[in-house]
Amino acid sequence: DTEVTQTPKHLVMGMTNKKSLKCEQHMGHRAMYWYKQKAKKPPELMFVYSYEKLSINESVPSRFSPECPNSSLLNLHLHALQPEDSALYLCASSHPKGTGYEQYFGPGTRLTVT
Amino acid sequence: GENVEQHPSTLSVQEGDSAVIKCTYSDSASNYFPWYKQELGKGPQLIIDIRSNVGEKKDQRIAVTLNKTAKHFSLHITETQPEDSAVYFCAARRKTSYDKVIFGPGTSLSVIP
C-alpha cells in the first residue's frame, strides 16, 4: 500500500488564525516531506524530516512550523499566514538514504488564506 | 545547483497516438529521474522512474529513456487514452542530495477522444 493521507482536504483561514495540517503514512518510510504547490507550477520543497529529525529547511518563513511526532506522522503548524501563502500543501514520504528512491505524495490540503 | 527544463509545456494528441515529453538536466551528478502524473485536484503520482545506470525502462504503455551524455531524458506514452490527460512532471535528484528532488516546470497533456 503506497498511501499517504492528508487532513483536512480543504482549509480556509484568516491571517490571525492558527491551524495545523496533518499527514500520515504506514509504509515504514523514515523520510517525510512538506511541499507547497501554486497553480500551474511544480511542487516546491519546504521541509524534510529524516528519522524524525529536521534535515532540510528551504528557508521557509517562521509562520510555517513543521513537527514530526513519530515515524508515521508529520504536521505543519500555521500561524499569521499571508494571502500569498494560499496554495496546495503536499506531504510525501520515502525510504531513507540507501534503501530506496521513490517519493510518494499525498492528495494535498488546499489552503486559502483570507 | 540542479536545473531541470521540460518541453513542451502543453501537448495535445488524438486518442491512440503517442505522446513524448522531453527533459534536460544540468547537474551531471544527478542519478535518479522520476516522472510524476498529477490529475486535477490530486497529488502527484509516481508513474515511472529511471536510474543513471540504465538507458531505458518500460512499463506497459509508458517508457522512459535516459541519455547521460547529453543529459536528456524523455517520457513516451503509446496508445494514449483520455485518462492519460494530466500534468506530467519530470524530476532529477543528485546522488549527494538524497532528499532533494528538483522538478521540471510540467507538461499539460490533453488526449482528445
In single-letter form, the type of residue at position B92 comes to A
Q: What is the pLDDT of residues B33-88, one digit of tens each?
A: 999 999 998 999 999 999 888 899 999 999 999 999 999 999 999 999 999 999 99
Mutate to test the interface with B, among A74, A95, A103, A104 (most CBs of B within 10 A): A103
**Terminal CA-CA length for chain B:** 41
The answer to whether the Cβ–Cβ distance between A55 and B34 falls below 8 Å is no
Taking an 8 Å cut-off on Cβ atoms, the answer to whether B42 and A107 are in contact is: yes
Residues of chain A contacting B34 with CB distance shorter than 8 Å? 101-103
pLDDT of residue B100: 83
Q: Work out the minimum CA distance from A79 to partner chain B, whole angstroms.
A: 24
Cβ atoms of residues A16 and A114 within 8 Å: no
Residues B78 and B18 sit within 8 Å (Cβ to Cβ): yes
pLDDT of residue A101: 72
pLDDT in tens, chain A (114 residues): 569 999 999 999 999 899 999 999 998 898 999 999 999 999 999 999 989 999 999 999 999 999 999 999 999 999 999 999 999 999 999 986 655 578 899 999 999 999
Q: Where are the beta strands (DSSP E) in B8-112?
A: 10-14, 19-25, 30-38, 45-51, 56-59, 62-67, 72-77, 86-94, 101-103, 107-112
**C-alpha grid cell, residue A31:** 523520510
Q: Contact, B6 vs B104, CB < 8 A?
A: yes
Q: The C-alpha cell of B102 is what?
A: 528538483
pLDDT attached to residue B1:
73
Nearest-Cα distance to chain B for A91, in Å, is 9
CA A9/CA A73 separation, integer angstroms: 16
Q: Which residues numbered 42-61 in A keep a CB inside 8 Å of some CB on B?
A: 42-43, 45, 48, 50, 55-56
Contact B36, B89 (CB under 8 A): yes
pLDDT at B104 over 80: yes
Q: Is the pLDDT of residue B8 over 90?
A: yes
Running DSSP on this structure, what letter comes out for residue A83? Answer: G
Q: Percentage of chain B with pLDDT > 70? A: 96
Gap from B103 CA to chain A (nearest CA, Å): 6
Mean pLDDT over the full length of chain B: 93
Does A15 lie at the interface with B, CB-CB under 8 angstroms? no
